[in-house]
Amino acid sequence: MCIQPYASNVCPPLSTGSFRSENEVNPTDNLDFRHHNYKDMRQVSECPNITRIYNIGKSSAGLKMYAMEISDNPGEHQTGPEFRYTAGLHGNEALGRELLLLLMQFMCKEYNDNNPRVRRLVEGVRIHLVPSLNPDAYELAYEMVRDLGSFQKDNFPDLNSVLWGAEDRGWVPRIVPNHHIPLPENFLNGSVALETKAIINWMERTPFVLGANLQGGEKVVAYPFDMQRPPKATGVGSTSDDTMFRWLAMSYAHIQKKYGERELLINPISCILPSPARCKSPGMNDFSYLHTNCFELSVFLGCDKFPHESELPLEWENNREALLSFIEQVHRGIKGIVRDMEGKPLANATISVDGVKHDVKTGKPAFTHTHTHTAHPRGRPQTTEGLTFHILDENLLQSAQDLRLGERFTFQQDNDPKHTAKTMQEWLWDKCLNVLEWPSQT
């Protein structure tokens, strides 16, 4: 749906000068500005030293759903966050697809040219790009250039109703958890699109902490909840992480050039609430939030879903900085590894934040390094599986202090080399149990 915005409560601008001046990215030299069909997409130039192309599953027509990983050690989970960009839920939404292909080319080029900002991203984040979540429909749209393609969003299970119904009955968290809500019984055995099954399996096996899906439609940055809570429900319709989601939405909206020129608004049809019109069914954002550790937003890029190739350079220029800046948001906050009394990384430990009714979990046993988690910054101890730990107000890393978003922080290495994580680690050891460890800054 495409509508005209109306004036109400303009979002405060974000300051971007601090990271643009020293690490400004270069112009769009030598990028492949054209529409790529399925075969072309697979053959997009890659840098074998920092990229890996894999598939997350197959479509109904048997096409592979390709993902492109960008990392200094592709194929290996390391200390640091997992981030994802996806596009192409609708077959006719070509702009998001091309922006992700351009982002991959751009990061390869800038990494090889020793751009310090891009190198920090590649070395500090494991980035996954899926340009087409619906490859079958795109092939039709590519040939016919018209509105074609099924919408995979509505195939996701309704975990919202599970949570809200349990909240109304007072069952959360004693009977029904407020996070990692399991799939309904036999859901994956039912009439669910193969694409949806592939996306869910990919989400479950990769410990993502932040992501965005690029779509077409009136310029909006939307976040959970997509689904509208029934009017008779006793609880509120927003998430417990509304402030964080608000920040993340603005971090894209106020850097994207066209959004800034048009003053993207904060009201029910812009960046603060879940969608241009609240949906009656859950979407990928809601599912990601309720079933995994990942915070996901939807970025609606505009009503021209399949722009002419001649327009792609301008669209790239308008979105390039926002795409990079949004990835950088994974580095805000406190990070670390939760260990048991013997010093071993603790898997599947639940971490709670006082006042936030949405917990997260540590990584699976296969992953021995850090993931993004939440912690209480006031010193209140939390206990899980025999483990007690504290996160205190004193000596918080500056990036967490600067965020000023209340009580939600993330466990992960601070990306600013000026912050001495080791000092913080030793201070915690002196005051608390030996259960938190920051990765080396070297």
- Tokens found for residue 55: 């598939």
Mean local confidence (pLDDT), 110-128: 93
| SS3 of residue 403 by DSSP | helix
Sequence-separated (6 or more) residues with CB below 8 Å from residue 374: 351, 352, 353, 356, 359, 360, 408, 409, 410, 411
CA 222-58-131 angle, 5° bins:
40
Tell me the CA distances in angstroms from 429 to 379, 389, 390, 433, 434, one per residue in order: 14, 10, 10, 6, 5
Residues 359 and 281 in one domain: no
Residues 433 and 297 in one domain: no
Sequence-separated (6 or more) residues with CB below 8 Å from residue 264: 5, 11, 219, 220, 221, 253, 254, 270, 271
260-285 pLDDT, tens per residue? 444 443 332 333 444 444 455 567 88
The per-residue pLDDT for 352 is: 75
Among 331, 346, 380, residue at a domain's last position: 331
Structural domain boundaries, residue 205? 17-331
Give the span between the Cα atoms of 67 and 52, in whole angstroms. 8
* Threshold 0.75, pTM exceeds: no
103-115 pLDDT, tens per residue? 999 999 999 999 9
Instruction: Among 41-50, 81-90, 368-377, 424-433, name the most confident range.
Output: 81-90
The per-residue pLDDT for 270 is: 37
The per-residue pLDDT for 383 is: 42
Tally the domains of the chain: 2
Asked if residue 225 has a cis previous peptide bond (ω within 30° of 0), the answer is: yes
Residues 278 and 342 in one domain: no
Residues 323 and 341 in one domain: no
Residues 204 and 131 in one domain: yes
Residues 292 and 360 in one domain: no
Residues 253 and 388 in one domain: no
The per-residue pLDDT for 21 is: 41
- Percentage of the chain beyond pLDDT 90 is 14
| SS3 of residue 49 by DSSP | coil
